[in-house]
Structure 1
Amino acid sequence: MPTKPKNSSPGRIGAAALDDAQQRHLIHRAKTIGLLMRHCINAGASMIALADPKSGMTLAGQCLVAALLGWSLYRLATQSHGPVVTAVDVASTIAICFGIPLLVHDPLFQLSNSAPQAIAGTAVISFAVSLPALLTFAITLVIAGAYAVGAAEVVGWGEVGSIRAVYYFALQWTTASLIRFMLLRVAAAVDQARRARESAETARAVEEGVRVFAREQMALLHDTAASTLLIVGQGVDLPANRLADQARRDLDILERGPWCSTSTPLELVSALRAVSNFARTRTVIEGRATVWLDGSIAHAVIAATRETLNNIDRHARAKQVRIVVGSESLSLIDDGIGFDQADVSRRHGITESIVGRMYRVGGSATVTSAPGRGTIVDLRWTPEAPLRPTLPEPMVLDRQIQRIRATYVFALTFYVVANLVTTVPYAASHTGHFVSQIALAAVAGTCALLALPGLENLCRLRIPVGLSALLMVMLTHSVVIVPPHMLGTQADWAQGGIGWCVVVLVLALRTWRAATILTAFWLTASIIELCLRPEVEAVTNLGYGTASILGVQLFALVFDGLMRDAAAEVGTEVAAHRELLISEKVAQAVAQEYRRRYAELIDSVVPLLRQLANGDAITGAVRREARAQSRRLRALFDQSTTFEHPLMQRLRLVVDAVESRHIDVAIKVSTELPYIDDCVAERLARSAALVLEMEMVSAQLVIGSAGQRLSLSLVCRGLSEPVNSAEALAAIVGDVVVSEDSVWCVFECAIGQ
């Protein structure tokens, strides 16, 4: 008999895929953003340089820039993250830096925006965000060194120390690496929290899956083998060919191995016709000619119908049963003698095999009957199979996004403050108004600090107040303080500094709205510069600034939005992997449960069913064997009603461990068990486990209740030294009785404690 599920390997799907999901998604997003940022700005800077009539580039420089433009367009089209193309990106940046003498001729080029500075600075940031820190540290050193060598050929080696871009590369690398480090740390914490949650959810799902299997396997045995053996044992007059067909049906169902749920669509009406062929009572199917259902729902409806027909054959004395099929319902109507619905003798078949089955697939079943009035069984369902959620809880997802975004805001705010600290003193010393510029920078920095998480309640109008203050700083600085000929140069710290303050302040807004505000600030500053300095050089400078400053700032906003998307995608990916992992783990647990509890039981009835299926004569010995097996199954069905009890769930785990030591353990429930809480159940099960740790041949547990007390009686047989064992148990239990090689002890607790 097949008892194993299909080959499965949850390790292939689960742990590795779930362990670092958030980190993998963030790294992938960072690589994509870095690539787009690098090559969009490279392409923009290259086009501006080629279009600038006063650039002074040599023919070789034009070829170099044109090659970079072509490569950037190719990279934007392919968006590959492979190591070879990334290495070409690094090499092309270094080539631009070494090629500075071919691209510029003005010794003062480093004082304003330029193509080499835009390309090199953006490369430093984009590599630092998307690649490991040690690697990008080496790349940044090489880029800075190449830039210094190239610039020295233009400004002179004696002025290398005054090239501020080289120092700015260090700040850019430090900030971008810090952002990456902090985001990955938070992502790792999110992954760790998710792993813990996923582990708990998987354990609960597997536990529930095994419980569902146990109920369905019991119901399957009840509806097939138990029903057929009961007919034989009671000597019901049934034609030999009909009995053989029914036994063959039971064999076919049982030899498939453990019950398993499936969602493969199934046509209901044709399956109902096949089931009705085994009914002794005349059956008429009415209503819809075809109904396609999800497999799990269809199997539940078919099994509930089969059990209803079994009950009608055994008890109803009906002449006919009508099966009325609808798109979302099915009714079985017989004209038999009916029954009293308070009759507990029919409780298991109705409660588990009919009502319980429909409930477990999200449907319902109602049974209406009275003595002398026949019986109506109504089954109802929804067309779709019940689905587990495929996304993490919204609250959990929101917390993940908030943690990552808060880290991002802290890192960007650090960059904003560091940028002001490094640029403002230099600018103030070259333009005058030192105190005024320091004051304006302090206002701008304060506005940026308003974006820090946790300050929402302190200043509910922080965004409009902060934006208004930044606008005043920008206007005052550009119109009043900075001389027109210095606008757009390194003395104009507000050109980039104010924009970064705006970025951190508007991160809380939707991406499109934040980008609109940021662009409006940039356009305002650009219009002021062109009005005060209507020159071609100003236009070119603004073009490079748009590519290298505004472009990077816009990507910073987009990155924030993409992080939110990444968190949502992680939720979807993890949920999908979790579904696969749970399915495989449930299949393994079910197979183990089947081998442990049902395979031997089914093997004991299969020979008898085969004998019936072959059409052999039904002798007195066969009837006695059928009655014995039927009683055995009925006792198991009665016990199964207690399987959901907290104490029984824990005792089954204890018994499994004991039986793995080749010790026979029998459990008997003498009365209906009252409810007890998990703590009491755990205490009783733990006490029983301590007793069963002794070496013995067999043990019997009898569980019952009387009044307000629940008792667990435990008899251990085949002990080598029962007296010594009893003395050891007295410290745990109290009263212990020794008889020959056996020890008997009783655990009691008050119900409700």
Structure 2
Amino acid sequence: MPGVQGTGQVGPAQAGVERRTAHFMVALRLSSSFAGGVAALLGATLAQRPGLAVACGAGLMVWGGAFSLLVLTRGPRTGFVVGDVAVTAVLCLLHRQLVPDEVLGASAGTGWVDIVASSAVFLVQFGARQPFGTVATGCVVAAYVLGAPGWREAPAVLVLQGLLAAALVGLLRREARAADRGLAAQAEAAARAAAQSATRADERDQQRRLHDTVLATLTMVGAGGITGPSPVLARRAAADLAVIESLATGGPDSGRARLDVALRAAVQALRPGLPQLRVDFAVPPCELPRRAVAAIAQSAQEALTNIARHAGTASARIESRRTESGVRVEIGDEGRGFDVAAVPAQRRGLNESVRGRMAAAGGGAEIDSRPGGGTRVRLWWPDGR
């Protein structure tokens, strides 16, 4: 907050305390100025100088309104707080001329000047930093003693009010700073966790892409699936190198893309050393966010590779449809099938290249298979439209 509150950056807790402080100052100054001004006008005929009492009462109400408007629009700046202390000090110095003698002889706090002085002592603690608040309280007390000489309880009460208000404000601000430090620590921890999660997600995505391309090709070569020069292997190796380059440079992840086109490319992808698949393709035109299309197409390509490698069949099918909740894609075969529960956890083909990839894109996948009953790989993505 500007002025006496300082111009440094503050946290949300401190900002909240300062906003409520400004509202409290406005409420206190308005109520005390109105009450004091009305009392001054009503008792002006009994004062030593009635005309001065009327002028001071009316001026007090005007100042209360101006002070409140300035604080609400610009915050409790130093000048506003100093001005309030100055107005209060002037009223205290004129105390004997503004109130009847009976009021001066009564106990502390019965006159309208006492109300104004008491509120000023509170305001300066809430609207200023220390030691300015303590110095300003001393000025108000000194003016009160000079304006109403003789033994009175009011100066002692004003000092006590100032000390209590200063302690309360100090406690509020200290707790607000502690709360902001706690919030900052939580935000920093959350940012670190998000960065680590993003790093792990990127690593898993790179591992999936390497598994589906480079490692798959090397596995075929190492298993003896290719025994001589092969144009298909050369083209597949070139595609694998392109994948490695994309991992280093990154690729576009924004905009939308055609899911049917991407799935057609997955069907036609090269699988050196594996039998050719005859794929029944039933995918209508469909456009989705590019990230979802990439995840679905890559997962489908991995599913087709697994069919060619393990299912013992030369045919498969792939179909998709829109639902009320999004898009669903199914890749299936009538091959030998397998026991899903018996697949080791360290096998990355299903766990990462299908389930993990879809989960990372905000979708999901399930594998339904049994020995002798074929396999169904179901992918889905919730289209936010």
Q: Say if 2:378 is the partner of 1:378.
A: yes
Note the C-alpha offset of 1:221: 2.1
Deviation digits for residues 551-579 of structure 1 (CA, Å, limit 9, x no counterpart): xxxxxxxxxxxxxxxxxxxxxxxxxxxxx
Q: Find the counterpart in structure 2 of residue 176 from structure 1.
A: 165
Question: Partner of 1:366 in structure 2?
Answer: 366
The whole-number CA distance in structure 2 between the counterparts of 1:311 and 1:320 is 13
Partner of 2:315: 318
Give, in angstroms, the shift of residue 53 of structure 1: 6.5
Please tell me the residue identity of whatever aligns with 2:102.
L
1:282-301 to structure 2, matched below 5 A, reads 282=279, 284=281, 286=283, 289-291=286-288, 300-301=295-296
**Which SS does the other structure have where 1:108 is aligned?**
helix
Q: For 1:383 and 1:37, how far apart are their aligned partners in 2? A: 52
The 1:380–1:277 alpha-carbon spacing in structure 2 relative to 1, beyond 3 Å, is: closer
Return the alpha-carbon distance in structure 2 between the equivalents of residues 283 and 131 of structure 1: 78
Q: In the alignment, what sits opposite 2:100?
A: 106
Q: Which of 116, 120, 124 in structure 1 is aligned with 2:121?
A: 124
Query: 1:52 Cα deviation (Å)?
Result: 2.9
Identity of aligned residues (%): 22
Within 1, Cα distance between the matches of 2:71 and 2:202?
53
Change (3 A) 1:320 1:365: closer
What's the offset of the Cα at 1:123?
Answer: 2.0
Structure 2: 5+ residue runs without aligned partners?
Answer: 1-7, 269-276
Instruction: Give the Cα separation in 1 of the matches to 2:169 and 2:39.
Output: 32
Q: CA deviation at 1:322?
A: 2.0
Cα contact 1:279–1:310 (8 A) shared by 2: no
TM-score (norm 2): 0.70
Distance 1:35 1:49 in 2: 21
Partner of residue 356, structure 1: 356
Amino acid at match of 1:52: L
CA pair 308-50 structure 1, distance change in 2 beyond 3 A? farther
1:377 CA displacement = 1.2
**Equivalent position amino acid for 1:72 in 2:** F
Within 2, Cα distance between the matches of 1:364 and 1:373?
23
Matched residue, 1:333? 331
What is the CA distance between 1:330 and its match in structure 2? 1.9
Partner of 2:210, secondary structure, is: helix
CA shift in 2, pair 1:354/1:239, >3 Å = same
1:309-708 matches, cutoff 5 A: 309-312=304-307, 317-318=314-315, 320-326=317-323, 327-335=325-333, 337=335, 339-341=337-339, 342=342, 347-360=347-360, 363-370=363-370, 373-380=373-380
State whether residues 330 and 378 of structure 2, in contact with CA within 8 Å, keep that contact through their aligned partners in structure 1: yes
Task: Map 1:124-163 to 2 at 5 A.
Answer: 124-149=121-146, 151-152=147-148, 157=149, 159=150, 161-162=151-152
- The aligned residue for residue 93 of structure 1 is 88
Gaps spanning 5+ residues in structure 1: where?
1-15, 385-753
In the alignment, which residue of structure 1 is the partner of 2:247? 254
Change (3 A) 1:227 1:136: same
Query: Is it true that 1:215 corresponds to 2:204 in the alignment?
Result: yes
Q: Partner residue of 1:44?
A: 34
Q: Is the 8 A contact 1:330 1:378 kept in 2?
A: yes
The equivalent residue for 2:273 is none
Task: Give, as a single letter, the amino acid of the residue that structure 2 aligns with 1:175.
Answer: L
- The 5 A counterparts of 1:182-197 are 182-187=171-176, 190=179
Instruction: Indicate how the Cα distance of structure 1 residues 289 and 362 shifts in structure 2: closer, same or farther if over 3 A, else same.
Output: closer
Q: CA–CA distance in 2 between the matches of 1:135 and 1:247? A: 72
Query: Structure 2 CA distance, aligned partners of 1:346 and 1:178?
Result: 63
Post-superposition offset of 1:97: 3.3
Residues 378 and 250 of structure 1, relative CA distance in 2, 3 Å threshold: same
CA distance in 1, matches of 2:75, 2:345: 70
Q: Distance in 1 between matches of 2:184 and 2:24?
A: 29
Alignment CA distance shift 1:207-1:118 (3 Å) = same
The alignment of Structure 1 onto Structure 2 pairs a total of residues equal to 351
Distance 1:338 1:249, change over 3 A: farther
CA distance in 1 between partners of 2:221 and 2:77 (Å): 72
CA deviations on 1:568-627 (whole Å, 9 max, x unpaired) are: xxxxxxxxxxxxxxxxxxxxxxxxxxxxxxxxxxxxxxxxxxxxxxxxxxxxxxxxxxxx
Tell me, yes or no, if the aligned pair for 1:41 and 1:122 is still in contact at 8 Å.
no
CA distance in 2, matches of 1:298, 1:46: 73
Change (3 A) 1:356 1:78: same
Q: What RMSD over aligned residues (CA atoms) do the two structures have, in Å? A: 4.4
Mean Cα deviation higher: 317-326 or 128-137: 317-326
Hey, what's the Cα distance between the residues in 2 that align with 1:299 and 1:47?
A: 75
Change (3 A) 1:44 1:244: farther
Q: 1:128 to 1:343 in 2, by over 3 A?
A: closer
Inter-partner Cα distance in structure 2 for 1:301 and 1:92:
74
Give the secondary structure class of the aligned counterpart of 2:267: coil
Q: Note the C-alpha offset of 1:211.
A: 3.5
Residues 147 and 166, structure 1, Cα contact 8 Å, conserved in 2 = yes
1:118, distance to aligned residue in structure 2 (A): 2.0
**In the alignment, is the contact (CA less than 8 A) between 2:262 and 2:297 conserved in 1?**
no
Shift in alpha-carbon separation, 1:245–1:45, aligned structure 2, 3 A: farther
